[in-house]
Homo-oligomer: A and B are copies of this chain.
Amino acid sequence: MIAERGLASTRIADVAERAGTSPPAVLYWFGSKDDLLTDALTVDEDRFYGAMTERLAALERPRHRLRLLIEACAAEYDWALWMELWGRALRDRGAAAARQRLDDRWREQIAEVIRDGQQAGEFAAGDPDDAAAIIAAVLDGLAVQVTLGDRAIPADRMRDLTVRSAELLVGCELAPLDERALAAGPSEEPRPWAS
């Protein structure tokens, strides 16, 4: 509902109808509209994060993992909900806490890929937390433009620009994902195109 109608114009009655029940029933479970909204905003992010963790684990090489991260953000994720959460976090304590938790986890996810890449010798040295913060910021910033339909930044340009930024930061080319990379399970194929 929030993704469709926006946080501001999502009514309890809408949620109830979609759930095939009545407004008081919604209140029965959530207590108040505020609680409902704050809970709802984090569900999608949590699901995306979970799926991403699985898919990352299926890729062996850090350079592929980093590329997948970026591609998924540019092509699959619904940033409208994320932006609604930002707006709410400006004034709502619960929303602010939820955002902090999700963002910490997300940046850590990126930083871990970078650390792996450095240990594997694929990525150049440098503070992985700094690089993660910058990559996350580029994704957020460009995603806003894409989501708002900016003429200058369609989704594929978002992907290309983010990939380029990441390449500069880790000093390693992030080749496009092909079936080999996506299908590759852990611990096989000893670096066929190693740098």
Interface string of A147-171 (1 = CB under 8 A from B): 1111111000100010011001100
How many copies, total? 2
Is A144 a contact of B80 with CB atoms below 8 Å? no
User: A100-B150, A150-B103 are contacts. A86–B134 as well, Cβ < 8 Å?
Assistant: no
| Bound CA span A140–B144, Å | 9
Mark interface residues in A76-120 (1 if CB within 8 Å of B CB, else 0): 000010011011011100001001100110010000000000000
Q: How far is the CB of A90 from chain B (nearest CB, A)?
A: 6
Give Cα distance in the complex from A170 to B21, angstroms.
57
Give complex CA distance A103, B142 in Å.
12
Q: Given the known A-B contacts A137-B141, A141-B140, are A148 and B86 also in contact in the complex, defined by CB atoms under 8 Å?
A: yes
- Smallest distance from the beta carbon of A140 to chain B beta carbons, Å? 4
A130 to B164, CA, bound (A): 10
Q: Is A134's CB under 8 angstroms from B165's CB?
A: yes
Q: Does A9 sit at the interface, judged by CB under 8 A?
A: yes
Residue of B nearest to A148 (CB): B89
Chain A contact residues, CB within 8 Å of chain B: 6-9, 80, 83-84, 86-87, 89-91, 96, 99-100, 103-104, 107, 129-130, 133-134, 136-142, 144-145, 147-153, 157, 161, 164-165, 168-169
